[in-house]
Chains A and B, each alone.
Chain A
Amino acid sequence: MSSLRYGYITGPVLGALWMVVLSTTVSVAMSFATGDAFRPSILLSLVWGALGGGLIVAMGRNMMIQAVIAVAVIATVMIGFGPMVTGDNAGMFSSIFGAAVLGGTFAVSLAVILTDITPGELTRHEFEAAVIRFLTGFGYIFFTAIVLIPFYVMVMTSLKNQAELIQNPLDFSIDLSKGWDLFRSYDELFRQFNFGTYLLNSFIISVLTVFITLLFAIPGAYAVARLRFRGRAAFSRSILLIYMVPMIVLALPIYIAFSMTGLRNSLGGIIMIYPVTTIPVALYMLQGYFRGLPAEVEEAGLMDGLSRLKVIWKITLPLSLPALASVSLYVFMIAWNEFLLAFMLLDDPTKFTLTRGIASLNSSEIPRQHLMAGSVIATVPIMALFLGLEKFMTKGLTAGSVKG
C-alpha cells in the first residue's frame, strides 16, 4: 500500500481505473440510448487513463491540461484507438457525442479526484482522500445505474413492439413520429384488459387497508406505549415476533379456509386479510412515536377532566400527525404492492388487483410490451406518491423497524 502513496503512482493508477469506470459507463449509456455498438476497450482505457492521470499530477490541474486531455480522448476515440470503441454501424453524430461526453467528464472529474495529489510522496491523508473521491464517484455511477436501468428498460419496453426489440435488444430509441400510437399498449390494457377496474380495485383496497389498520393500531399502540399493565413488555416483543411469520405459511391455511367459506375470489376477503398483515407493523411504528411524545401534555389533559379516549383523540393524535402520515404511506405501499395473497385468492378477472392483473399478463400469448405497460401502470402511482411524500417515508421507516 505504502508504495502506492507517491503522486506519480497514485495519479496514473486512479486515472487508469477511473477511465475504465467512465468508458464502461459511457458505452453502456450510449448503447442503451441509441442501440449502436459502443464498447469500452479495457486495455486502452487503462493506458490512456494512466497517461491522463500522470499528466494531471505532473502538470498540475489547470484548464489547459484538462482541455488537452479532453481533446486527446475525443481524438483517439474518433480514430478508433481510444478507451471506447464505436462499432461501424454507429452514427457519426452519436460517435462524436459519446466521445465528447467521455473526454469532457474524464478531464473534469479526474482533476477533482486528484485534488492535492502532487508528484512526490503523499501523506496518508491526501492519498486516502483521493481514493475516497474515486470510490465516491464510482459509487454514484454504480448505484444510479443499477437503480435506473431496470426502470428504464421497463418504461421503454412498454413503448416498443416485440419485433423491434428482438431485432436489436439494445435499441430503446423511440420513434416520436408515432405520436399517441406509442401508448398503444396502455390503451389496450385499459380498454380490453380491464386495467381501469384493477387500478380502482387496488386503490380502494389500499385505502381501506390504511383506514382499518389505523383503526386497530392506534388504540393498540397507545396502550402499549402509555398504559401500564401486566404483560406489556412481553406484548411489545411478541409484536415483532408476529411479523417474523412468513406470509406463505399463513397463506396456505387462509387459502383453505377461504375456499371452504366461499370468501375466495372476493375483494371482501382480501380486505379482511390485508389489514391484519399490516397492523403489527403499524402498531410497532406508532408505539415508538407515541413513546417519544411528552407525557406531561396528556397528564394535563387528564387533570382537566378529559377521559383517556378523549386524550388520545384531542391530544395524542393531533400531535402525531406526521407519524400517522408515514405509517399510512407505508401501509398503503404494502397493500398496493402485495402480490402473494392476491395471486392465491383471486381467480376472477373482474376482481383482480393491479398486481394480480399483471400476473395474468405473463403468458406467451400476450406481448411483453403489455406486461411492461402493466408494470408501469402499477409502479407510477406508488412512485409519485412516494416521491411527493419522501420525507415522511424516510422518517417513518426509520422510526420503527420495518418489514420488507
Chain B
Amino acid sequence: MSDLSPPRGTGPLAKREARLAWGLLSPTLIAVALVVLLPLLAIFWISVKPVSLADLRAPEVVLREDLRGDAEAVGDEANIRYRLRNSSQEQPINDVSFTDTIPDGLTVGALDARCSLDGQALSCDLGDWEPGFRENLMIPVTVGQAFLDGGVDPGDSEPAIEGKASSVLTNNTFTFENFARVFDGDEFWGVLGVTMFYTVFGTIGALLFGLFAALLLNKEFRGQGILRGLYLFPYVAPVIAVAFAWILLFDPFSGSANALLVQMGVTSSAINFFGERPLALIMVTVFEIWRYFPLSFLFILARMQSIDTDMYEAADMDGASPFQQFWSLSVPQLLGILSVLFLLRFIWTFNKFDDIFLLTGGNAGTRTLTVNVYEQAFAVSNIGAGAAVAVVIFGCLLLFSLFFFKFISQEEGL
C-alpha cells in the first residue's frame, strides 16, 4: 500500500533552491560579518578595556647594533655594541632574546653570562624587561684578517629578536572605568539632551520642509524638472564642501550672513553663529534640516504623484476648499510615508557624525553622542571610553529598532 499523504518536509528541488540562495548570499554575508559584526563585537570588548591611543602600538624591543673601537688591523680589540630598549614606558616585555651572526674573522672574547656562541651565531637570553628598560650590551671581539677582507659590518646581519609583550587589547585586564567615565557627572545628560534636541528637531524640520517643497512641486509646469534637481543639491553635494560653505557664510568676521544682517539692521554687532550656546546647536540643527529636506521631499513627492487625482476632483465637486482637501485627503494618504520617513530619519539623524564634527567639532554645546565617541577616543586619546560611548549608542539604536520593526511591519515595507 503506497503512502498517499502529501510529501512532508522540503523536497530536493526546494533544498537545491535554498542552497543556491545561500550561495548567492554568502559573499555579502561574509563581507558584512567581517566589517560590521566583527567590529561591533570588538566595540563591546574594547569598551571594558583600559585602552588609550598609545596602546595601539604594541611595546617592542628596539635594538641598534654598531662596532665600537678601532678595527683596522689584525689583532685590534673592538666591541660590538647592542643598544637595547623597551619602546614602551608602561608595558613590560617578557622573555626577551635575540640571535645574531657575528661576521667572519671576528673572534669573540669574554662573553656576557646571558649569551652563548655557537660557531659564529650569537644568541642572548635577556630575561624580562621593565617598562622603559634600556641597556648597552658589549661583545668584545678581536679582529682577524678575514674580517678586513670581507668588508662585512656587524650591523649588516639583521638580528632576530623575540619578546613577549602583552597587549592590553588581548590580555585579561578589564575595567568598568570607561563606563563610569561616560556616565559620570552632568556631562552625559548634557550630551544626551543635545543629541535628542538635534535628532527630534532635525527630523521633524526636515520632514516639514520636505512636505512643503513636495507640495510646491506636485504640479506640472515648465522648469519643474530643473527645480526638482536644484532642490536636491544640498543632499547630493559632498558634506565637507557644503559644511565649509556654511562656516564661511556664517563667519563672525568675514561672513556674508552677518554683513547682511547688520546691513538690514537686524543686529548691530556680528553674531558668532557656530560659537555661541545655544545658537550653535540651533544652527547645526538648521544645517541638518537644510541638508536632508531633499530626501524627505523626494519620497513625499513620489507618494503624492501616486495618489489618484479623481479623489480631488470629486472633493472639488463637493465644494471642499483647498485646505480641506489637503487635511482630509492628502494628509491621510501621506501619513504612511511620513511615519516611515520619520522613523528612518530619526535613527539616521541620531547616527549623524560628519555634519556636526565639521561645523563645530562638538564645541559650543553641540556635542552629540556620536561626536563624543570621536572626542573620547581621539581628542582625549582614550579609545576605551570612546568604545563605551559607542556601546551606549548601540543600546539606544537597539531600542529604536525594536520600536521601528514593531511599527514598520504595519506599514508597507519601504
B-contacting residues of A (Cβ < 8 Å)?
A: 27-28, 31-32, 37-40, 87, 124-125, 127-129, 132, 136, 139-140, 143-144, 146-151, 153-154, 157, 162, 165-166, 168-170, 172, 215-217, 219-220, 222-224, 227-230, 232, 235, 237, 241-242, 244-250, 252-254, 256-257, 259-260, 272-273, 275-277, 279-280, 283, 308, 333, 336-337, 339-340, 354-355, 358-359, 362, 368, 371-372, 374-376, 378-379, 382-383, 386-387, 390, 393-394, 397-398, 401-404
Contact = CB atoms under 8 A, between A and B. Distances in A.
- 8 tightest A-B contacts by CB? A246-B351, A375-B241, A253-B39, A219-B24, A229-B18, A253-B42, A227-B21, A276-B35
B27 A220 contact: yes
B255 A237 contact: no
Contacts of B322: 125, 128-129, 132
Given A37-B263, A125-B321, A220-B27, A249 B255 contact: no
Nearest to A337: B238
A308 B393 CA distance: 42
Interface in B19-66: 20-22, 24-25, 27-28, 31-32, 34-36, 38-40, 42-43, 46, 56-57
Contacts of A254: 35, 39
B249 A220 contact: no
A228 B18 contact: yes
Query: Secondary structure of the A side of the interface?
Result: helix
Contacts of A249: 39-40, 43, 373, 390, 393-394
Nearest to A244: B347
Contacts of B236: 333, 382-383, 386, 393
B186 interface: no
B405 interface: yes
Contacts of B56: 256, 259-260
Contacts of B298: 394, 397-398
Given A339-B240, A404-B235, A252 B390 contact: yes
Interface of B: 14, 17-18, 20-22, 24-25, 27-28, 31-32, 34-36, 38-40, 42-43, 46, 56-57, 169, 212-213, 215-216, 225, 227-242, 244-246, 248-249, 251, 253-256, 258-260, 263-265, 290, 292, 295, 298-299, 302, 319, 321-323, 340, 344-345, 347-348, 350-351, 353-354, 357-358, 370, 373-374, 377, 383, 386-387, 390, 393-394, 397, 400-401, 404-405, 414
B216 A230 contact: no
A378 B243 CA distance: 13
Given A150-B245, A241-B401, A404-B348, A248 B390 contact: yes
Given A153-B256, A246-B370, A279-B28, A146 B290 contact: yes
B28 A229 contact: no
Given A223-B21, A397-B298, 19 more contacts: A27-B264, A39-B264, A150-B246, A153-B249, A166-B254, A227-B17, A229-B18, A246-B351, A252-B43, A252-B387, A283-B28, A308-B20, A333-B236, A336-B238, A337-B237, A375-B240, A375-B245, A379-B238, A382-B237
B46 A28 contact: no
A133 B336 CA distance: 27
Contacts of B383: 252, 256
A117 to B, nearest CB: 15
Given A254-B39, A256-B383, A276-B36, A375 B244 contact: yes
A168 B259 contact: yes
B397 A245 contact: yes
A381 to B, nearest CB: 10
Contacts of B350: 246
A375 B244 CA distance: 8
Contact of A140 (B216, B255, B397): B216
Query: Secondary structure of the B side of the interface?
Result: helix
A283 B28 CA distance: 9
Most buried by A among B14, B239, B260: B260
Nearest to B316: A125
Contacts of B34: 276
Given A242-B36, A276-B35, A280-B32, A147 B234 contact: yes
Given A154-B245, A379-B238, A216 B18 contact: no
B245 A223 contact: no
Given A223-B20, A248-B353, A170 B235 contact: no
Contacts of A148: 230
Contact of B351 (A219, A247, A371, A386): A247
B373 A355 contact: no
Nearest to B291: A404
Nearest to B27: A216
B41 to A, nearest CB: 8
B321 to A, nearest CB: 4
Most buried by A among B238, B373, B414: B238
Nearest to A354: B238
A220 B28 contact: yes
Given A140-B216, A244-B351, A219 B27 contact: yes
B256 A170 contact: yes
B213 A139 contact: yes
Given A143-B216, A220-B25, A253 B244 contact: no
Contact of A359 (B27, B240, B393): B240
B216 to A, nearest CB: 5
A227 B20 contact: yes
27 contacts: A125-B321, A153-B245, A154-B241, A169-B254, A216-B27, A219-B25, A220-B28, A223-B25, A228-B21, A229-B22, A244-B347, A244-B401, A245-B394, A245-B397, A246-B393, A248-B373, A249-B43, A250-B36, A252-B46, A253-B40, A253-B387, A254-B35, A275-B31, A340-B354, A375-B245, A404-B345, A404-B348
Contacts of A136: 216
B397 A244 contact: yes
Contacts of B14: 228
Contact of A248 (B227, B230, B370, B414): B370
Contacts of B290: 146
B229 A39 contact: no
A143 B31 contact: no
Contact of B213 (A143, A172, A257, A403): A143
Given A229-B21, A308-B20, A379 B27 contact: no
A299 to B, nearest CB: 13
A129 B225 CA distance: 24
A28 B257 CA distance: 10
Contacts of B239: 337, 339
Contact of A250 (B35, B230, B232): B35
B230 A147 contact: yes
Contacts of B235: 404
B46 A383 contact: no
Nearest to A238: B32
A246 B319 CA distance: 49
B36 A245 contact: yes
Given A394-B228, A397-B298, A256 B46 contact: yes
B295 A404 contact: yes
Most buried by B among A125, A253, A383: A253
A170 B263 contact: yes
Contacts of B347: 244
A372 B344 contact: no
Nearest to B238: A337
A229 B35 contact: no
